[in-house]
Structure 1
Amino acid sequence: MYAMLTTRTVRKYLNLKIGGSNMSTKQRTFEDAIECLNSLQSNAKVLEALRNRGKVPNDDSMTQMKEYLNRIGYQTSDLNRLNVIHVAGTKGKGSTCAFTSSILSKIQKKYPDIAPKRIGMYTSPHLRSVCERIQLDGKPVSKELFTKYFFQMWDRLEATASEATNPEKPMYFRFLTLLAWHVFFSEGVDAAIIEVGIGGEYDSTNLIEKPIVTAVTSLGLDHTALLGKSISEIAWQKAGIYKESATALTCLQVPEALPVLEQRANERKTRLKIIKAPFFLKPEMIGLSGAHQLGNAALAMEMVNEFIHKTKPSCSINLNKDSAVFDGLKDVQWPGRCQMETIDGIQWCFDGAHTQESLEATGVWLASKRQLFKEAEKRVLIFNQQSRDDPVALIQAFLRGYESFGEDLPFTHAIFSTNVTFKDETYNPELLSVNTVTDKRPALHVQETLASWWKENRTGMNDAIKIAPTVEEAVEMVHQINGESTNTFVCVTGSLHLTGGLFVVLNKAAFE
């Protein structure tokens, strides 16, 4: 039986001073918060445990999440006050959220009477700092605010543990989801863009009962051990966010996905609406590179349109053709996705694609930008994917896309790195939990497999293939390859965690 905490108990603990009688929030630092956060079991460990037990997420996980929400002082009905825009999908859901936030911020400036007063966004994973996951008005929450609200929630969970069905603290992703909601409530957010973590139906974020807008981005095969081994099974999970309160939006999908999405929308007593990129929307009009981003931008445009007209029914503005919308699409910031930078005289391309479909799209995009690096004498690929079952299939997908324009600019060097940040075998503390490696195979098994495949299929490159035990060493290898040259191009892809590690080592701020 699910044990609800009494109202008196919740009120009692909410009135406690943060940190109890012996410690105040001022005595706790951001570093303390990260240490506490990293003490929670990471997503990677949770997934491994579930695989080992042959168990998939179910209603029990939602019951636990509901109790956690109660323990920090909220009811599920409170989430409706956030006016949630809920986004699931396999590919592009983070980019879609970023477009949505950017558009809303422009509308906020141009039409303050119809726009939300405070825009919150919760996404995952982060590139460099965990603060990136929880944003207020387009900016990561400050370390000071993160620390303040982190320990408020930490102490509420500590104080209510004795009366809880499950006294353990929530795992990493669940904790951050709850923290995002706590921040949004505390900071007066009235438009919350929430990205699903994994799946949808049983995802931690799916306590939301009455979202304003729901959308499923492009679907593909990913997290199959948890979500199912077919597109149909995955579509069922993702569409679990559809609710009667909101039109069910999606983009163009593979054929086997659409019937499932439509069925799920009907079950939730709502209507499925398929959004296509309008003919007037061109790649040069949006701030994120890649033709595949047009579908994400179009979905964001429709989500904003739905949001404004549902929260402000009297609004008569045609947002699909308003300059504020186009300014939002153009000025969007979403680092680590088809991002090109020149750092210390070396051209870098960062993209966190990590599924076959996404990596192929990244390869196609990179091939279309060849004029930007065609003169490079040395073209280096840094690649890793530590958590997927078949890293070779992933690199093949990337090369398939890259070579779709011809093989006239092959990579001259390949570096296969781990996600460990530094040579002393430590991670940047804020990357530790998301980068935890849980398999028991040799530490460089993935890298050795990739290097072996490259040697067999890219003849004449044996001396140009390197294995980097850490991201820091991968960067050192790039500088050695570059030598005295001023004409080197480096592509980093296969993992957002690898991309984030590169940002840290290069001291390149993820948000500027």
Structure 2
Amino acid sequence: MDRTYEKALEIIEGRKRVRRPNAASSSRAPLLPILLEGRATSGLRGTPSLVGMVEWLQQVGHSADDINALNIIHVAGTKGKGSTSAFAESFLRAYGRRTGYPAKTGLYTSPHLIYPEERIQLDGMTIDRDRFARYFFEIFDRLPQLHSPYDSSLPFVQRGPRNLQLYALLAFHIFIRENVNAVVLETHSGGEYDSTNVVERPLVTAITTLGMDHVAMLGPGMKEIAWHKAGIFKSGAAALSAVQADDVDCTVESVLRERARAKCEVVRFVAEDERLPAEARQLEPRVQRRNASLALAATEAWLEARGKDKAISADDIHAGVEQWSWPGRFQVACDPDIRDCTWYLDAAHNDMSVAIAAQWFAAETAAGTEMPTPLLKSNEEGVRILIFSHINELRDSVALLGSLATALRDCKAEITHVIFTKYATVDTGGEMADGRSSPEAEMLHAAWRKSQPGSQIWDEASIGAAVARARDIVKCSTSRTGQILVTGSQHLVGPVLEILQA
């Protein structure tokens, strides 16, 4: 068999589930006795991703002790879990560089921004494609289920891991084979039934800011979402959380306290840490300070769990922040083709995230330009452009856009042009990539016009066409000055960055 990186990706991509089963799925009932052994449920929907992970790890040759020996910091949450995970890895790496331990760090995040191998990092570097392929085919050789196309009608052990489960298996395998001694592990979307929650004894567990997201899987309300996310808490592992806001229907922090108490732990809520550098672009906007504070607390809890006498130093903290990078999150990029065109990219994909993205964009453009605010509705003084796309059967893209439009209006960041697009990177000349109908496009138009009626609206069939349209708008303006916000999904931001970096 062809054992290239490209073939590995072909097999992994072929393991995607066509669509998520609903709560009434006939395949759900037989799984419950297996799933519920020693576990409670809260709004279980479909087949939990945790099912099968132990068996597949054993087939690959890894025991629970092998996983526990990775000395894991496990991170769940709604907003900022990727940034928090990356900060924690960076702090650990900075500490290890000074003291000699940890000697090698690992980071697993999801989803990727541009290339799939970005999900797995060793010592702050994305794993190279040769090792990615080599380690994948080690798994492939030990899991005969991967030798046939994914068939959801088969029992779960026979059908083998799905796409995300396979990525998690690959990450564990790589970290073990590479002798990593400190791993920061980000959950996919949930917690209790997430495939990453196969870890029995993490050293530290951390919950980032919670909000309404993945409601179809974890909901219907904040009580259920908090319950699921806190499923990563384990006996013997430090339990940490960002300070949480109360929901109308429940006290989120009380749910987390109760879940930690059930594991004989006391959850500690982490406020902003004053030791973080006062002036650091990596800590803007303010939410990044919260993420970094939680990551720093997790790092110190990890050092305590490992019995390290040396505390993390001010130099370690500064180095950890300075070397930290998380592309696609609050990222500012210059346009290589247009001198006075600046791109603002944030992969916000839920109501909480897009509101923060709007505030960030408004603050950045107000501070970094002499363009009038609010901007005139013409090309005479420059242009503010939004490129937006969000395609997800579990979220309402129209409602999400409405939240973004309202947040931008309230921040006085008025948009002159808005460009709606799809996830296709190039225009194939056929039907839109997601099959969105014209009435659905009109719903997006209507949602936008409620808050920002003066914008000119464009529809483009591909991300490449959307970028080209934005550039043309800037070039045709009198000032040739543009500020372009790209948000709505990581599947949009990644390809836009790839175009800008080409």
Q: Indicate the TM-score class for this superposition, using the shorter chain for normalisation.
A: 0.7 to 0.9
- Rounded to whole Å, the distance in 2 between the matches of 1:467 and 1:222 is 27
Match status 1:351 vs 2:346:
yes
The match for 1:49 is: 21
- Rounded to whole Å, the distance in 2 between the matches of 1:296 and 1:457 is 30
Question: Could you say what secondary structure the match of 1:166 adopts?
Answer: helix
Could you tell me which of 359, 366, 371 is aligned with 2:367? 371
Match status 1:340 vs 2:347:
no
Match status 1:169 vs 2:160:
yes
The match for 2:378 is: none
Match status 1:139 vs 2:125:
yes
Q: 1:32 to 1:61 in 2, by over 3 A?
A: closer
Could you tell me which of 383, 387, 398 is aligned with 1:382? 387
Q: 1:292 to 1:126 in 2, by over 3 A?
A: same
Residues 405, 451 of structure 2: 8 Å contact kept: no
Residue 377 (structure 1) shift: 0.2
Residue 392 (structure 1) shift: 3.1
Residue 225 (structure 1) shift: 1.0
Residues 57, 202 of structure 1: 8 Å contact kept: no
What are the equivalent positions in structure 2 for 1:448-463 lying under 5 Å apart?
Answer: 448-461=442-455
- Rounded to whole Å, the distance in 1 between the matches of 2:134 and 2:97 is 29
Could you tell me which of 498, 501, 506 is aligned with 2:495? 501
Residue 28 (structure 1) shift: 2.0
The match for 1:326 is: 318
Match status 1:415 vs 2:387:
no
Q: 1:251 to 1:159 in 2, by over 3 A?
A: closer
What are the equivalent positions in structure 2 for 1:265-276 lying under 5 Å apart?
Answer: 265-276=260-271
The match for 2:403 is: 397
The match for 2:296 is: 301
| Residue type at the aligned position of 2:481 | N
Unmatched segments (≥5 aa) in structure 1: 1-22, 427-434
Equivalenced residue count is 459
- Rounded to whole Å, the distance in 1 between the matches of 2:323 and 2:407 is 27
The match for 2:217 is: 226
TM-score by length of 2: 0.86
The match for 1:125 is: 111
| Residue type at the aligned position of 2:243 | L
Q: 1:477 to 1:354 in 2, by over 3 A?
A: same
- Rounded to whole Å, the distance in 1 between the matches of 2:98 and 2:492 is 38
Question: Could you say what secondary structure the match of 1:385 adopts?
Answer: coil
Q: 1:314 to 1:204 in 2, by over 3 A?
A: closer
The match for 1:257 is: 252
- Rounded to whole Å, the distance in 1 between the matches of 2:15 and 2:404 is 34
The match for 2:171 is: 180
Residues 204, 239 of structure 2: 8 Å contact kept: yes
Question: Could you say what secondary structure the match of 1:225 adopts?
Answer: helix
| Residue type at the aligned position of 2:462 | T
The match for 2:180 is: 189
Q: 1:363 to 1:303 in 2, by over 3 A?
A: same
Residues 283, 289 of structure 1: 8 Å contact kept: no
Question: Could you say what secondary structure the match of 1:74 adopts?
Answer: coil
The match for 1:154 is: 140
What are the equivalent positions in structure 2 for 1:465-480 lying under 5 Å apart?
Answer: 465-480=457-472
The match for 2:15 is: 40
> Deviation per CA, 1:239-269, whole angstroms, max 9, x where unpaired?
0000012111001102221111000001011
Could you tell me which of 181, 190, 202 is aligned with 2:193? 202
| Residue type at the aligned position of 1:306 | A
Residues 88, 238 of structure 1: 8 Å contact kept: yes
| Residue type at the aligned position of 2:485 | C
Q: 1:314 to 1:150 in 2, by over 3 A?
A: closer
Question: Could you say what secondary structure the match of 1:49 adopts?
Answer: coil
Residues 426, 463 of structure 2: 8 Å contact kept: yes
Residue 424 (structure 1) shift: 2.0
Farther off after superposition, 322-331 or 186-195: 322-331
- Rounded to whole Å, the distance in 2 between the matches of 1:182 and 1:444 is 45
Residue 144 (structure 1) shift: 0.6
Residues 94, 195 of structure 1: 8 Å contact kept: yes
| Residue type at the aligned position of 2:8 | A
Question: Could you say what secondary structure the match of 2:279 adopts?
Answer: helix
Could you tell me which of 474, 478, 483 is aligned with 2:475? 483
Residue 364 (structure 1) shift: 1.1
- Rounded to whole Å, the distance in 1 between the matches of 2:405 and 2:146 is 52
Could you tell me which of 238, 260, 266 is aligned with 1:247? 238
Question: Could you say what secondary structure the match of 1:87 adopts?
Answer: strand
Residue 288 (structure 1) shift: 4.2
- Rounded to whole Å, the distance in 2 between the matches of 1:267 and 1:58 is 25
Residue 66 (structure 1) shift: 1.2
Residues 351, 493 of structure 1: 8 Å contact kept: yes
Residue identity (%): 34
- Rounded to whole Å, the distance in 1 between the matches of 2:252 and 2:186 is 20
Residue 458 (structure 1) shift: 2.9
- Rounded to whole Å, the distance in 1 between the matches of 2:23 and 2:459 is 29
Question: Could you say what secondary structure the match of 1:287 adopts?
Answer: helix
> Deviation per CA, 1:37-87, whole angstroms, max 9, x where unpaired?
111124xx35x3246739635896534111111111112232101101100
- Rounded to whole Å, the distance in 1 between the matches of 2:470 and 2:93 is 39
Residues 88, 199 of structure 1: 8 Å contact kept: yes
- Rounded to whole Å, the distance in 1 between the matches of 2:244 and 2:437 is 37
Match status 1:68 vs 2:56:
yes
Q: 1:474 to 1:307 in 2, by over 3 A?
A: same
> Deviation per CA, 1:132-177, whole angstroms, max 9, x where unpaired?
0011011111011111111111121128989x97222311000000
| Residue type at the aligned position of 1:143 | R
Residues 387, 484 of structure 2: 8 Å contact kept: yes
Residue 416 (structure 1) shift: 0.8
Q: 1:380 to 1:59 in 2, by over 3 A?
A: closer
Match status 1:361 vs 2:356:
yes
- Rounded to whole Å, the distance in 1 between the matches of 2:429 and 2:260 is 48
- Rounded to whole Å, the distance in 1 between the matches of 2:290 and 2:318 is 14
> Deviation per CA, 1:410-461, whole angstroms, max 9, x where unpaired?
11100011111111279xxxxxxxx995xxx635665432123224543343
Q: 1:58 to 1:81 in 2, by over 3 A?
A: farther
Residues 84, 294 of structure 2: 8 Å contact kept: yes
TM-score by length of 1: 0.84
- Rounded to whole Å, the distance in 2 between the matches of 1:283 and 1:357 is 25
